[in-house]
Structure 1
Amino acid sequence: MQVQKIDTFAGHRDCVYTLDAGASPTEFFSAGADGLVVRWQLDKPDLGTLLARIPASVYALAFDPEQQQLWVGQNYDGIHIIDPVQKQEVRSAQITSAAIFDIKIVEGFAWIALSDGVLVVMDVAEFVVKKHLKVSDKSARSIAINPVSREVAVGYSDNGIRIFDLDLRTLKKIIPAHANSVFTVQYSPDGRYLLSAGRDAHLKVWEVTDQYSPQNDIAAHLFAINHICYSPDGALFATCSMDKSIKVWDAGTFRLLKVIDRARHAGHGTSVNKLLWSPYHQQLISAGDDRLISVWEITH
């Protein structure tokens, strides 16, 4: 496996916490502690377009491809909807005074994870809250959708994962998953596995078709794992960590293939917070506390 750093996008004035893909394979969005929401193009490096200035940290972005709108979760002030073309806010809703840690949009509904443990489900078209799901007093940190099993997995700061029914929006299962907060959950593209990781630095694999039975427990990083991301072809996945490294894994065998760090690849000098694997030349995008967004070409 070969890894080459293609570009570094600079422009954020503080830690970058979140990334999401845009309307085209080359487009993506970023946001973080500086409240700046920026659009980037992979084929036009470092030509970032400022879409919004949010007066608080942004931990969650979600682009809705159907409405062509960007959902921004503002810390302590709810949801803001931005039209990326017009570069203006079109809607906002103060659904909470808690921090928003994740947003996933699926089949006309937005699932939103909050720091007070509430999971909010909003109707995208009507822009109204349809359901509050509170099954923990600790933060809901990460959401993953499995369209195959029709389930939603949510990782919490109480060390557990909850599985919800996507259609009924009811709790189906509780998994006592980790020794500490669960920061990231991700289903495999075929829906067979759920991957989870968090503050305990362990990567865990759960077999969805076998009642979420544990399949693997890997001491994957030195410090907290912030995010897991699959490659577009599903053959690989990557993890990023507070230990400043990105690791690339074989999705079939869960074998470690590559470590991307500062010493070997001029990687991030601080915590790596978020990953996004683009279909554009299979480029892997990473964002960190060093205010930088790096783009990696990975040939396997």
Structure 2
Amino acid sequence: MKLTHLHTLSGHQNPVYALANSTQTGLFYSAGNDKGVVEWSLDTMAFVKVLVPVQSSVYAMHIYGERLIIAQRSGVILVFDLSEQRVIAQLAFHQKGVFDLKTIAHKEELLSTGEDGQVAVWSLKDFSLLYHFPVLENTVRVIAISKDEKEVALGCKDGLIRIYNSDDYGLLRVLEGHKFAVTALQYSPEGSRLISGSRDAQLKIWGLPDYELVNNIPAHMFSVYAVAFHPTEPYFATCSQDKSIKLWGASDYKLYKILSLEKQTEGHRHSVNKLLWSPDGRYLISTGDDRQVMVWGFEA
């Protein structure tokens, strides 16, 4: 297995918080504390264009069909149509920053959440607000959707993971284990586990369907900001406030690779905020507070 630095893409003027793949092969998007969403090419390893200007920092992006959904610190969510190259909807409900977005495809619903502790449920047909419910008094940081789309996991500032039924958004169970805010959450592609990361620098592995805690990994020195499973190979990557990216085995939980300036590899100079695998699994893309977007080549 190899993970090799290929290119560093510069141009952002401020920290970068969000990454998303395009529906077009070889393109992806980045955004953060800048004035716009940037489109990049993996084929040329170069800047393509500023896709859409934004009024406030972008904390999350999510792709659904030909729509790029953009969550902002202002609470406003933009829906950008990639085929029409224009904003087709502005979703206003949240009074504070929106930290994550996910879709439930079979229901054609978009979920949004963030600093106000509320989850909003939107129709992907007409972008109307269908439902909203409070989760806690302060921040919900991250959303994960189970493989069968029947369960929604929310990583919360109080260190708890709350699992909801996607049919009626009823609370199913609460997972206790992390000491501090849950900042990363991802169901495994085959649907047998949920992995959570936190400000306590730990990774916790929860076995489905009962969410029993099956493993705890002291993964990083500081907050874990993303967990990203490879699309086809049995690995997942994590990134952290400690400036490192780590690659783990998805079945043995063994640490296979550390990308960090401290380990004399290429790496980020500040907190690494987001990771993204290209759909074909050939590239891992990372970004963070150093304003750089780094592209890594992957070979199993």
TM-score, normalised relative to structure 1:
0.95
Aligned-partner Cα distance in 2 for 1:19–1:202: 23
Q: 1:205 to 1:96 in 2, by over 3 A?
A: same
Partner of 1:173: 173
Change in Cα spacing, 1:71 to 1:55, as seen in structure 2 (3 Å) is same
Which stretch shows the higher mean deviation, 194-203 or 53-62? 53-62
Moved over 6 A (4+): none
* 271-280 or 259-268: bigger deviation: 259-268
Unaligned runs of at least 5 residues, structure 1: none
Q: How far is the alpha carbon of 1:152 from its aligned partner?
A: 0.8
Listed as ranges, the matches of 1:242-253 within 5 Å are 242-253=241-252
Contact 2:104 2:149 in 1 (8 A): no
The whole-number CA distance in structure 2 between the counterparts of 1:119 and 1:96 is: 9
Cα gap change, 1:128 to 1:181, in 2 (>3 Å):
same
| Cα separation, 2, equivalents of 1:172 and 1:94 | 28
In structure 1, C-alpha distance between the alignment counterparts of 2:168 and 2:112, rounded to whole Å = 16
Q: Is the 8 A contact 2:232 2:281 kept in 1?
A: no
Residues 32 and 119 (structure 1), Cα distance of their counterparts in 2 relative to 1, 3 Å cut:
same
Letter in 1 for 2:140: A
The CA deviation at 1:25 is 3.6
Aligned equivalent of 1:51: 51
- The alignment partner of 1:265 has SS state of coil
Q: Say whether residues 1:88 and 2:86 are aligned partners.
A: yes
> Residue 144 of structure 2 contacts residue 185 of structure 2 at CA under 8 Å; is this kept in 1?
yes
Partner of 1:24: 24
Is the 8 Å Cα contact of residues 149 and 191 (structure 1) preserved in structure 2?
Answer: no
Report the residue type matching 2:241 in the other structure: M
- SS across alignment from 2:45: strand
Q: Aligned letter for 1:172?
A: L
Quote the residue 1:144 is aligned against: 144
Name 2:156's counterpart in structure 1. Answer: 156
Distance 1:158 1:143 in 2: 15
Bigger shift: 253-262 or 263-272?
263-272
Q: Does 1:186 align with 2:186?
A: yes
In the TM superposition, residue 269 of structure 1 has moved relative to its aligned partner by 0.6
CA distance in 2 between partners of 1:149 and 1:270 (Å): 35
The match for 1:61 is 61
Deviations 1:90-130 (A, max 9, x none): 21122122100000122111011121111111111121111
Q: 1:279 and 1:96, CA in 2 relative to 1: closer, same or farther beyond 3 A?
A: closer
How far residue 85 of structure 1 moved from its aligned partner, in angstroms, is 4.1
Alignment match, 1:42: 42
Aligned equivalents of 2:169, 2:41: Cα separation in 1? 36
SS at match of 1:284: strand
Tell me how far apart the structure 2 counterparts of residues 256 and 35 of structure 1 sit (CA, whole Å): 37
Q: What percent identity do the matched residue pairs reach?
A: 35
Which letter maps to 1:128?
S
Distance (whole Å) between structure 2 residues aligned to residue 147 and residue 261 of structure 1: 32
Shift, 1:234, TM fit: 4.2
Contact 1:61 1:103 in 2 (8 A): yes
Q: After alignment, is 21-30 or 183-192 more displaced? A: 21-30
**What residue number does 2:103 align with?**
105
Shift of 1:71: 0.8
Contact 2:94 2:116 in 1 (8 A): no
Deviation at 1:58, TM superposition (A): 0.6
Single out whichever of 287-296 and 39-48 deviates more from structure 2: 39-48
